[in-house]
Structure 1
């Protein structure tokens, strides 16, 4: 073998070893995440997915949907404690997130499809016209549920919701902008976990800022599950789905006639208040917009304030 051939072969072996090492680290990190954050609730099969959800408390029902890359512990971290005293809370892992999985062969995994699956869960549990709470991307899915199934939803309480098409993905989610499923899988199994674990402070500063991220967000907040390959790939597909579905969804806000409340922090570093708050409140008849100080993750950092606001929204729909 020539010198060039030997060098090429050596480089290939080195690259393969590096990729194998990254894949092994990712597999180890996934097992670690599931030990740190085990499944907390129940499972139910709906058309297209198996959904993992927590059922907490008694009283008028509230169904809660988390955002991009999140998991139901985003709500059980603190917010559920303030609401479960007088409400039944159904807190669901969105399809593809946490411990909820799409069924094999499910092709439509967009926002409208996920909304339908959430409504199927509501039907399966025998819940009548609940208040639907959605945080961030969960807000978009709550809106998609309301425009498709207005007779099944009592009202919406939207927390820092994604409500309008966005041209630029926030920096913390840039890696999720890959269009190719093959590229998503490659990144998910190699670079996503080690790079994110190397500098968690940068991501948390954007997610939580100007507020401080809780020290136990990885475990009590469920964030450890985000770096599993399947979760990364699902989140990347969610970003792509937003580009397709959000323009369609935003054009339908005028159809809504149910009670809608929007709670937004003006210092949000993920979704701009001016883009997603006032325009949406104006497009939905009777919608009420409340602005507070804080960051995107105020359901974790300000649970008492958020809980009281949600309780008032529940009262407005008769719950």
Structure 2
């Protein structure tokens, strides 16, 4: 029994040390791209580029600012002042709590960050989970944005399960035992396969996987934060739906017809009727990563939202 306890103690130590080493390497290889701000006593990482109307871009699950700065933000910076912010627990933004920051809490933090950067009423664009955060921003703080753009965003309820990965990584035992193992030992090929899967039926742009900084997402703090947020998403969406009728800003929705991650019919096909004046652009053959593989369609939606906001006097 003593030998078993000794062996387990050594094993735990090896896993934790290996995880720490990989996390150190991740931050060395992928340092912050932008500014580290103090927002309400918490560190928030934000990248700002370009000049023009203020535009906030919100990344999805398991992401960070690099998802947006790979190519979308630089293109938009030609005529917008683009602000890209790491969501809580991801990239270089601190976690808000140990239970998973809610959509509303994340929206409040991002709104406060944008304000600190001088953007009082930005256009807000969110992709995938980031679109749900953008919806919470528009629903709870309607006076604090000029327009709303959603790309492949979850917005209504679904009846499928959480999935094995999130079931495990959002559980107490999974966060204590499995998450450190993932951080310490998951091979690069697993990350590459996950990236390819989320892009299906398209392929990831050349250089995207290397640029994204997936090792940042594999840190223990980020795996736990992302799992908690994903586990809480369905119940938070249920609470958000009754507020869609209160969204009055110009709203543009872009969604791929071939998206199997966030289904068009379950989400955006309903949302377009829940927000007055919303416009839905359906993209034939396009999967979940619209902002990468159908980038011009997303840029066009942002431009339309900006024009509508000006016409509205926003």
TM-score surpassing 0.5?
yes
Runs (4 or more) in structure 1 with deviation over 6 Å come to: 105-108
8 Å CA contact 2:169–2:224 kept in 1: the answer is no
Matches within 5 A, 1:2-17: 9-17=2-10
Structure 1: which 5+ runs fail to align?
A: 1-7
Distance 2:304 2:26 in 1: 36
Distance 1:186 1:110, change over 3 A: same
Query: Secondary structure in 1 aligned to 2:181?
Result: coil
The match for 2:71 is 78
2:298 to 294, 306, 309: 306
Distance 1:107 1:9 in 2: 35
Distance 1:30 1:215 in 2: 25
Query: Secondary structure in 2 aligned to 1:51?
Result: strand
8 Å CA contact 1:48–1:117 kept in 2: the answer is no
Query: Secondary structure in 1 aligned to 2:211?
Result: coil
Tell me by how many angstroms 1:47 deviates: 2.9
Tell me by how many angstroms 1:299 deviates: 1.5
Structure 2: which 5+ runs fail to align?
A: none
The match for 1:121 is 113
The match for 2:260 is 269
Of stretches 265-274 and 11-20 in structure 1, the one that deviates more from structure 2 is 11-20
Query: Secondary structure in 2 aligned to 1:274?
Result: coil
Distance 1:120 1:239 in 2: 23
Matches within 5 A, 1:1-319: 9-47=2-40, 49-102=42-95, 109-168=101-160, 174-175=165-166, 178-181=169-172, 183-192=174-183, 194-195=185-186, 197-292=188-283, 293-318=285-310
Tell me by how many angstroms 1:161 deviates: 0.6
State the Cα deviation string for residues 72-94 of structure 1 (Å, max 9, x = none): 11110010121111100011001
TM-score by length of 1: 0.88
Of stretches 184-193 and 291-300 in structure 1, the one that deviates more from structure 2 is 184-193
8 Å CA contact 2:168–2:174 kept in 1: the answer is no
8 Å CA contact 1:61–1:127 kept in 2: the answer is yes
8 Å CA contact 2:170–2:224 kept in 1: the answer is no
8 Å CA contact 1:184–1:236 kept in 2: the answer is no
- Number of matched residues? 310
Distance 1:12 1:100 in 2: 37
Note the aligned Cα RMSD (angstroms). Answer: 2.4
